[in-house]
Amino acid sequence: MPTVAEWLEAHAASSLARQRATVDTARLLVTFATGLAATVVATNLQVQPNSGRADRWSCYLLGVAAVLALIVFTIDRIREPNVERVLRDAAAGSWAQDQILQELRTELIAAPDGNNGFVQAIKMISILQTLVALISGAIAVVALL
């Protein structure tokens, strides 16, 4: 039967993995949404160049979607456990094995808690980006008709 500390370690490790998977999925989603919208907008521009406001709006919205996609890709703030700091502090302070293990557990358990807000922000930005890309593509499709 696992101890409470072992359960907390396992829970923290799975939470950290789930948070990383959420951010990776958001990146994949915005990549495909931007690519699909760009394909439809480019098709519209090739078939009907200078067809009016619909072209401009679809291009503007595609630009906004691309900027939001870049934000999702460039911001990576998933906090990982800082094992090096703990080991460096332990070497400087000549800690006992139990104290090192306790500090490593504390670091592992604290890492997912600091990521919750960041992961929620990435989710919101990716949802907004997908909606903007969808609207951009929809305007281009309507302009094609």
The answer, yes or no, to whether residue 32 has pLDDT greater than 70, is yes
Distance in angstroms (rounded) separating the CA atoms of residues 44 and 141: 7
The answer, yes or no, to whether residue 46 has pLDDT greater than 80, is yes
Confidence (pLDDT) at 1: 65
- Strands (DSSP E) along 2-143, which ranges? none
CA 107-113-118 angle, 5° bins: 120
Q: How confident is the model at residue 109 (pLDDT cuts 50, 70, 90)?
A: confident
Higher-pLDDT residue of 9, 29: 29
Higher-pLDDT residue of 79, 54: 54
Burial (CB < 10 A; 0-12, 13-18, 19+), residue 107, is middle
Mean pLDDT on 28-34: 94
In whole numbers, what is the pLDDT of the chain averaged over residues?
85
